[in-house]
Amino acid sequence: MSNRMWGGRFASGPAEIMEEINASIGFDKRLAPQDIRGSLAHVAMLGQAGILPAEDVAAIEAGLKSVRDEIEAGTFVFKRELEDIHMSVESRLTEIVGTAAGRLHTARSRNDQVATDMKLWVRDTLDSLDQQAADLQRALAEKALTHAETVMPGFTHLQSAQPVTFGHHCLAYVEMLARDRGRFRDARARLNECPLGAAALAGTSFPIDRHATASALGFDRPTANSLDSVADRDFALESLAAASICAVHLSRFAEELVVWTSAQFNFVRLSDGYTTGSSIMPQKRNPDAAELVRAKSGRIIGALTGLLVVMKGLPLAYSKDMQEDKEGTFDALQALSLCLAAMTGMVKDLEPNAAVLSQAAGSGYATATDLADWLVRELGLPFRQAHHVTGRLVGAASAKGVGLEELSLAEMQEAEPRITEAVYAVLGVENSVASRTSYGGTAPVNVRKQAQGWIERLG
């Protein structure tokens, strides 16, 4: 039996495998709220434009609200033979209001309908992700304020470089998330044009008011070209790109948590709420939440790559290939939402091991740059010469197996005779971080100011 929604041209129904590959109701049913919002805006416009009589508009609006109630109540039956959410809603609407339901599709196509539904869903999701990212920023800024003076090693090449503070490290991710939120907002602004009314690809001969439907659905304006309206999936690609960059940021932090919670580092501790045990090793506390955040970045990046490949060879306007935009986009943005929630929980939960962090901050000759700066500032050495002198002192300390601060003044003066006792004041890690007062530096006074500023901005 042919599909009664579009089967006039066909004498028989689709092959079983055709139904299997063609049906999207299994995943696009999550667009039901957006589909009904779009249909309500469309039928209201059809009535206002005099295209449909008032009685049909009223019947369709009442029927759509009934369908929405059934879906929200979980009593709606999604039928695979109806292919997608659009036909499923229209079929049920027909059962409720009769032939008037068939007039709902006047002056539109499933092509502009699905583009509108997807834009609405992505827009709603971007708003939610933006709020979740703000929540994570707030948690990080609060942690930064608490630990503005907690000294820890800063790394380059995963080697001890210079002392920083734990609060300063947290604020680095606040800045990354600020850029992520900017990308979410940019993507939202660009997608906020309404495709509804572009119909299949060429527009329509009916005297529709696309500005009215755009306004009713919260769009800034209708899309300007009917071909582009139904062929565009830039909004999904850009959102996935923003999500991928955000996921990479979360993955980098997750990787640090995995390293930091190891027995070898012991920099921070996560509670039982964000760790798991081993089935055979009772001593284990595994940072599984962080590991899964790290792993999920792969599927988010994969969704972006997958959709880019789907779109790269498609001629204008709509092709069925574009049905493949949904599962990857749904999955990726849902995964990012879960990652943001998990990371926010871990940030609130974690406790730095201040004693271990302080000891590690002084290892690896992390104050060597402070020594070089002192030689420049106090003795007037060119930095390259100061770098050379400092390198000799690091070599001497390393040969003895001691820290720079443990070298005697006489040993230091072998490298540079003008060095005085005052040099020891810059070799402590607390003095080192306190001295980094340049804008954006790690000095506790900077960290407190930046953290308080973010907390006030985030509300």
Active-site position among 2, 262, 271, 278: 278
Active-site position among 157, 279, 408, 438: 157
Q: Which two tokens stand for residue 67?
A: 């369908």
The C-alpha atoms of residue 225 and residue 198 are separated, in whole angstroms, by 8
Q: Are strands 151-156 and 159-165 parallel, antiparallel or unpaired?
A: antiparallel
CA distances from 5 to 83, 88, 110, 183 (A): 10, 10, 12, 40
In terms of Cα–Cα distance, which of 144, 139, 137 is closest to 174?
137
Whether the CB-CB separation of 102 and 94 falls below 8 Å is answered with: yes
Secondary structure class of 239 (helix, strand, coil)? helix
The C-alpha atoms of residue 270 and residue 251 are separated, in whole angstroms, by 17
Residue ranges of E strands in 200-324: 221-222, 268-269
Q: Which two tokens stand for residue 298?
A: 């792969």
Whether the CB-CB separation of 96 and 36 falls below 8 Å is answered with: no
Q: Which two tokens stand for residue 392?
A: 């000799």
Query: Would you call 249 a catalytic residue per the annotation?
Result: no
C-alpha distance across the termini of the chain, in Å: 59
The C-alpha atoms of residue 441 and residue 59 are separated, in whole angstroms, by 65
Beta bridge partners of 194: 222
* Cis amide linkage into residue 317, ω under 30° from 0: yes
Q: Which two tokens stand for residue 92?
A: 């049920």
Whether the CB-CB separation of 35 and 92 falls below 8 Å is answered with: no
The C-alpha atoms of residue 205 and residue 108 are separated, in whole angstroms, by 11
What's the angle, vertex CA 352, arms to CA 351 and CA 356, rounded to 5? Answer: 145
Query: Would you call 387 a catalytic residue per the annotation?
Result: no
Q: How far is CA 106 from the centre of its chain?
A: 38
* DSSP structural state of residue 3: -
Which of the residues are catalytic? Answer: 157, 278
